[in-house]
Amino acid sequence: MPHGASPDRIAQLIASYLAADYRWEHDGVWHRLAIGEPAPELDAGFPDAPRFGLMTAANPGQQMRADIDNRSADRALQRRMDALGLRYRPAFVAARNRVWRAYNWLLIGPEIEAFDVLARDFGQIGTLLWSRGMPVRLRMQAAAPAAYADHPWVDWVMARGDGVAASTSLPAEAAKAKSVRSP
């Protein structure tokens, strides 16, 4: 199991992620994101982006780390995003009861495989990744616990033995590609 997380722990994380408050910043204004809902302000703000993602470098594998370590990991993630030529904006996620908050980055137009590699390299079990115009989706780097295996807003990504993600498309993009190929 990735990150040593049990199916019960993965289920707890998903419940937490689904109930969290997500925000991203643009021109000094903070905008809301919600899993299962489209993000029209984001689509309008970045009309050339085919997809969006949200991730952090903090607390890899959901193991709590000191603030200084999380800030160092965050700077390393920024350097990687810069080296890859990715566009990004500040973001955060917080529990609705305010018991936790994590600083994140909104990635604008990331390639799916590169996004998944960043998530794995920075030990992130859960991220957000979705196609423009479509509802925000939770992307889990773990095996699906039974209670969430068919959740409509959760995608499951498991790395093959060679480290490449077994799922490298989003549902909307896969359906669109299939319809283009259909006679």
Query: How many domains, the chain?
Result: 1
CA-to-CA separations, 7 to 64, 98, 149, in angstroms, rounded: 19, 25, 11
pTM of the model: 0.86
The domain in which residue 85 lies consists of 2-181
Phi, psi of 109 (to 5 degrees): 75, 30
- pLDDT per residue over 118-168, tens digit each? 999 999 999 999 999 999 999 999 999 989 999 999 999 975 444 444 555
- pLDDT per residue over 82-118, tens digit each? 999 999 999 999 988 878 888 999 999 999 999 999 9
